[in-house]
């Protein structure tokens, strides 16, 4: 068996089995030789190298947080992704896990009227990709919130361009962050649709998605 990726629906996340949104990502995971399992609860995580929480719509319980912390300390990677303007309270639900590690998803939207593909500037483009950037020059991040750190532990994976701003917090340009947790890591993103069927073929989103799932 190759690499094993868990995709959670334990918190009513978007399922990767939705063909309208994520069929291309599912095909990409197959293409890189990884195995994908959709999980309905947080238990027995030891077999998975990566666990994805894509737009959680329920809080993480204390038991789940303990299990996920143990998973990361032993070398696992968690990817948890929010969305702009705290839609469906998704920022709050993401933060119920990430606040322990000093990173929060803001209840805002990042706007860039220069580096964008839409009139409103919500589908922003950035070249400021600091990690997981092999073969990646630019990525499209639609409808993204910004992130803020409450401790110095997190490092920026992606920042918006200098032309971007938050609709609530001024120059708040951190979009993806990474926190090392023991031998593993927690990756937090401000948008969950950079790898949906619309975005994944644009710019270097596909390469970034592969790196996020597979690269150390």
- Taking the C-alpha atoms of residue 28 and residue 196, their distance in angstroms, rounded to an integer, is 11
Fold of 4-214: Rossmann fold (3.40.50)
pLDDT in tens, 41-88: 998 898 999 999 999 999 999 999 999 999 999 999 999 999 999 999
- Taking the C-alpha atoms of residue 51 and residue 67, their distance in angstroms, rounded to an integer, is 12
SS3 105: strand
pLDDT in tens, 14-48: 889 889 899 999 999 999 999 999 999 998 898 99
- Taking the C-alpha atoms of residue 91 and residue 44, their distance in angstroms, rounded to an integer, is 26
pLDDT in tens, 156-190: 999 999 999 999 998 878 999 999 999 999 999 99
Res 1 pLDDT > 70: no
DSSP 128-185: EE-SS-TT-S-EEEETPPPEEESSTT-EEEEE--TTEEETTTBS--EEEEEEEETTEE
- Please state the rounded mean pLDDT for residues 121-150: 97
In the chain, where the domains are located: 4-214
């Amino acid at each position: 068996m190759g690499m094993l990726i868990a995709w959670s629906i334990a918190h009513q996340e978007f399922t990767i089995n939705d063909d309208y949104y994520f069929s291309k990502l599912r095909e990409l995971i197959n293409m890189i030789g990884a195995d994908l399992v959709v999980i309905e609860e947080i238990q027995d995580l030891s077999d998975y190298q990566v666990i994805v929480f894509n737009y959680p719509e329920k809080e993480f319980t204390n038991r789940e947080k303990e299990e996920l912390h143990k998973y990361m300390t032993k070398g696992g990677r968690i990817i948890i992704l929010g969305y702009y303007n705290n839609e469906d309270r998704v920022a709050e639900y993401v933060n119920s896990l990430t606040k322990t590690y000093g990173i929060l998803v803001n209840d805002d939207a990042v706007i860039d009227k220069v580096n964008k593909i839409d009139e409103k500037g919500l589908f922003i483009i950035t070249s400021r990709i600091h990690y997981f950037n092999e073969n990646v020059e630019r990525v499209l991040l639609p409808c993204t919130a910004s992130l803020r750190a409450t401790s110095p532990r997190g490092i920026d994976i992606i920042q918006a361009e200098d032309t971007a701003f938050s609709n609530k917090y001024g120059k708040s340009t951190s979009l993806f962050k990474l926190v090392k947790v023991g031998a593993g890591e927690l990756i937090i993103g401000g948008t969950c649709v950079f790898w949906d069927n619309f975005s994944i073929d644009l710019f270097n989103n596909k390469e970034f998605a592969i790196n996020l799932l597979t690269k150390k």
